[in-house]
Structure 1
């Protein structure tokens, strides 16, 4: 499975809308119809996407949007972000403050909804079990960055400097 096929499968599953978990279920169903090697390829690509997107500033943005964030919470946030599509995902990785443009993020600023989809991270495992009756072959764990590189996500001045649009949405006090 290549990059275009990976994102096309997610895009097709998201085409009719629904919750991120509904999209994940549709993606798993569609993926289960494919050859098991393609299912494994989807999982490998998902891991590459997760590795490439483990950026300190994206973690900080997830922390702001969700009112805190653990490693597992960041994984789930990126699962949710995948459902938003390739363009939104790539843009958020490069410019986390662009998340402020997404309707779901604006809604979360008003409602306190936490954005995440663990189910999206398990699409290949679900599809492989459905297609073969077996679990996915073991793969190396997703890389984790050195947390010493993290900045203080609770520092309001730093949050406003890095994410002015997100800070405005999430009612951070204006800079003096």
Structure 2
């Protein structure tokens, strides 16, 4: 499975389903019809593309959108970014500051602003919540059916291809230069679009 085939499955799963549960079922069904080699290939591309998102700058975007952050939550946020499709993903991976231009993320910032103004917690529907934890597991069942092995050996097969898994995070093991996310001047310098949206001069 090459990268184009990987993105084709990710994007078709979104077009062919109306809910996240349906999307997961669609992907599992498609992968169940593939060989073990293709399933490992899908998982390898999944880990590769997701790892590109594991940066300090995108973590800052995530924390800004929600008003708080956790390492697990950031992982599920990265899953969600991948689920949006290749073009939005590439835009964000290349320049996290442009994430604010995505309508899906802009909506999160709007909800967050309203939450601050009304002193209420942000409320998102299940379908627009900025996390997609279960997308990480869609290969498990198809792999076990195709090989008779448990899902743990899938990770070993991916590692054997030379793919480095950045998630789950152990400590703040982000890519790029570390910086103080609470420093407004650093936020304005590194993420000027996001800073302007947050009202940081």
Asked whether the 8 Å contact 2:56–2:176 carries over to 1, the reply is: no
> 1:148–1:91: structure 2 CA closer, same or farther, 3 Å change rule?
closer
Highest CA radius of gyration, 1 or 2? Answer: 2
| Structure 2 unmatched ranges of 5 or more | 112-121
Q: CA deviation at 1:68?
A: 2.6
**1:111-141 Cα distance to aligned partner (Å, 9 max, x none):** 2345111111112124324555643323247
Q: CA deviation at 1:23?
A: 2.9
Q: Corresponding residue for 1:164?
A: 192
1:118 is matched with which residue: 133, 141, 144? 133
Q: CA deviation at 1:24?
A: 3.4
Which runs of structure 1 show a deviation greater than 6 angstroms over 4 or more consecutive aligned residues? none
Is 1:13 equivalent to 2:36 in the alignment? no
**1:62-110 Cα distance to aligned partner (Å, 9 max, x none):** 2222323232222111110011111111110111121112221121112
CA-atom RMSD in angstroms: 2.6
Asked whether the 8 Å contact 1:21–1:119 carries over to 2, the reply is: no
- 1:32-111 to 2 correspondence within 5 Å? 32-111=32-111
| Structure 1 unmatched ranges of 5 or more | none
Q: Corresponding residue for 2:165?
A: 142
TM-score calculated relative to the size of structure 2: 0.73
**Count of matched residue pairs:** 173
Asked whether the 8 Å contact 1:61–1:97 carries over to 2, the reply is: yes
